[in-house]
Each structure stands twice: as structure tokens, then as C-alpha cells.
Copies of this chain bind each other. A is one copy, B any other.
Amino acid sequence: MQQLVIIGGDAAGMSAASQVRRMQPELGITVFERGSYTSYAACGIPYYVAGLVEDKGRLIARTPETFRKKFRINTLMHHEVLAIYPDKQRILVRDLDTGRDLSEPYDQLLIATGAQAVTTGFDGEQCDNVHQVSTLVHAEAMARALAGETIRKVVIVGGGYIGIEMAEALHLRGLEVSMVHRGPQVMATMDPDMGSFISEALRQSGIKLHLETALEGFVQEKGKVTGVLTSQGVFPADMVILGLGVRPTSRLAREAGIALGPKDSIRVNELQQTEQENIWAAGDCAQSFHLVSRRPVHIALGTVANRQGRVAGINLGGGYATFPGVVGTSIVKFMDTECSRTGLSERELKRLGWHYVQAVIEDHTMPRYYPGSSVMHVKVLAEKGSGKLLGVQIVGGPGAAKRIDTAAIALHAGMDLDTFINVDLSYAPPFSGVWDPIVTAAKQAIKEV
């Protein structure tokens, strides 16, 4: 190979680029990034807005300069790829600073274009006091607005993980926060019985939570949104935050005739190859394989993006690696309430038509006699008959949510409940009860198998 071209300079693209560089010291590697930043922690944005991280530079893991100098990767910022021509093995790139278009050849091409925030489609969304939360540019805009103006009321549209992290951030800044959410409980990736504990935590902190409330538009005055119009009335707003999820940025791939998968994510095999020769994809723009449902899925998360980027990089660097897939793990916190999930939810199992058993328990993060022990709710789902673990959801106090990782590993390994409950987990009073709450829930679920 002479020339590796990568479209997109964030997690997946730069993981792949650095991996290839380590394996191929002399290969030409060019990265085209339309924005101004490489490899930054988008997940850190709420904490920057909250004021917990003072310098946004700390969210940047590696700058373009680092990639250029240390890794000798030709990292071109403000360069937007406009089209891919697989037959010619070329791409069309626009230099956004000069407006000049270039036709660039590639031997291998990695698409790592990421995902983009879902928009509302309503007029008013373009106003500068309506914010998305997906790039550093958005983060800067929010920080500027919060520093310079007198913002008191904020309406967050969407009660998913971005909505919840932003609710915490703005609550910490002392603002009056309302949240508008379409579903019966926040955190739709969890089942409503578990989501209700998070809804409760939001309300207890003073967040005005409006469930089963649909966004219907924005009220504008003098070029600013002053209210959010919903199925439950108008909520006044000095600032609006949108947290409606993301969708894969796959237009380039689609227009080049590359096959797409779920939610229009780019279809890839375990090596991260698309169905088009010499074209690869990794990160939030690409699909993953769900190891529990055995189906392709689209999951946009930094952990997955980094892992896919690494696998693509190893293969592009002349090695061999496969990305086995995901089990659907995620984690979020609001103040002292943590929540996490992995595997399939009850709702997902119903959609698949699988027969399952479940247990939902209330337990404690630590023995009840230990100071700081707090309530922890656990839901365990397992296959009827076989007892195979299918999913776990946790909501609880400090120290509760990260335990989901034990279930993630168990799901990856295909464990059944009988095996899981006998694993030698760590125990000492400052860390856990003698039976970890997940194990207690699993023991109870066994009775239903």
C-alpha cells in the first residue's frame, strides 16, 4: 500500500491512524477532518459546561500538531470530503479555508465520519440559544452563552444520557432546569421500571420533569427561542438544549454505493471492511454486531469507536484483528444517582419475541452497617429454560453503576446464571455486601428459569 486515507479525525479515525503508524513506519497516512479538533473527549462536554473542567483544552487527547509531528500523520484540518469514487479509488475534498476542491487518490480508505446529532425539524432550532451537545464547537457556544448572558431557565429536550448529563451540569450551575421527554420514563435504553428511579432522582433535585411530552416547536422572539412548545403546553426558556440522540454520518458512503445497515450505519464485517473493496469503516458511522441479540446494531459510543478504530488499524497496518461485537453497555449519572445497563432490555426481548425470566431487587451498594451505603436497584433478565444471562440494569447510589462491567463480561462469555452467581467477586465492607447485588438478583432470577 502507498497511501492510506482516513475521513474523520476523532476517536475511530485517529485510533486507526496511530495503530497503522506503529506497524508501518513509512506508509503515507492522510487524515481529512472538516472541523478544528482531533481526538477530543466529546463525552466530557457536559462536565466542561458544568464548570468541573475549566480548560476545554483538557478534553483534547491529542492535537493535530501531535499527530503531524509525533506520528508523522498528514492531518489536514478544515478539509471536508465531498465524495468518494470507489471505481477510481479517489475522493473529492474541499479545503474549507480556501474553498478549493482537490481530487485525492487512495489505496485504502477508512471512513470514520462519526455520528451527528438528531435535529428536530422545527423552525427556531437554528437560533443561537438552541444547543446541540456533540462537538467542542457546541461546548464553546454553551460556555460562552452561560458566561455572558443572564440565563435562568433552561429546557432540555430529551431524557437520554446527554439530556441527563446536561441536566446535572446546568443544575450544578444553579440554573432552573426543565426536561421534556417523550417516553413514560427517562433513559429509554432502560426499562420503565428502572427508568422511574432516575426520573425520581431528577425530580428530587428540583428538575422539572415533563414525561410523555412531545416537542411541537419553538416560540421565537427577536431571533431567539423564548419558549419550547410541547404537547403539554409552552415552557419558557432562556436556553434550549437538544439531546435527541445521534445518527450515523453515512451520506458519503451511501452516495458511493456502499451498503448500509441498521439506522443507515455503514455495513462492515468483523475486520471493519465495508462491502466495497479497499474501503473500511469504523466508529460511530459504522454498525456493530450485538453479541446477545446476534443482530447488527448501531451503537455510537467512544469505547466502541476506539475498539473498532484499533481493529481497522491493525488490519490496515498489515496485521489481523477482528472486532467481535458489543453487548450494549452504557452508564450515566445524575448527581448521586448512577445508572447503567448491558445486554438486552425487557422491551428489546419482547420485540425479539424471546422467552425470558427476570428479577428486580432492591439491595445496597455496601453492607447496611457501613457508612455511605446506599440503595441499589438491579434488574436481571435471563433466557427461560437455559438460564442464559440476557441483560442487567442498575440504578443506585455511588459505587452502584460501574458493577455493570461484571455483567458485560459475563454476557460476552455467554454465561448462564448458575455460572455467574458462583464467580469469585471481590468483597470487603467498603466495597460491597458479601453477595454482590447483581448476584443476589441473579440468584432470584434462577428460581424463575
Residues of chain A whose beta carbon lies under 8 Å from any beta carbon of chain B = 11, 41, 43-44, 47, 52-53, 58-59, 161, 165, 301-304, 306-307, 311, 321, 323-333, 338, 340, 342, 367-371, 399, 401-406, 408-410, 412-413, 415, 418-432, 434-436
Contacts and interface: CB of A to CB of B under 8 A. Distances in A.
A402 B401 contact: no
Contact of A426 (B342, B415, B420, B427): B342
A414 B353 CA distance: 31
A377 B429 CA distance: 22
Nearest to A404: B426
A424 B402 contact: no
A366 to B, nearest CB: 10
A181 to B, nearest CB: 19
Contact of A399 (B368, B369, B402, B410): B402
Contacts of A323: 422
A333 B425 contact: no
Nearest to A50: B371
5 contacts: A41-B434, A43-B428, A53-B370, A328-B424, A402-B403
B307 A422 contact: yes
**Those 3 A-B pairs whose CB atoms lie nearest each other, nearest first:** A413-B413, A58-B369, A331-B426
Contacts of A58: 368-369
Nearest to A305: B434
B424 A342 contact: yes
A412 B371 CA distance: 31
B434 A408 contact: no
B370 A52 contact: yes
Contacts of A402: 399, 402-403, 426, 431-432
A43 B430 CA distance: 10
Given A369-B44, A419-B324, A430 B333 contact: yes
A364 B230 CA distance: 43
Contacts of A11: 434
Given A405-B405, A413-B415, 13 more contacts: A43-B434, A44-B369, A58-B368, A59-B369, A303-B434, A327-B423, A329-B425, A330-B428, A332-B428, A342-B424, A408-B423, A409-B425, A413-B413
Contacts of A424: 303-304, 325-329, 342, 408, 412
A427 to B, nearest CB: 5
B425 A408 contact: yes
A249 to B, nearest CB: 20
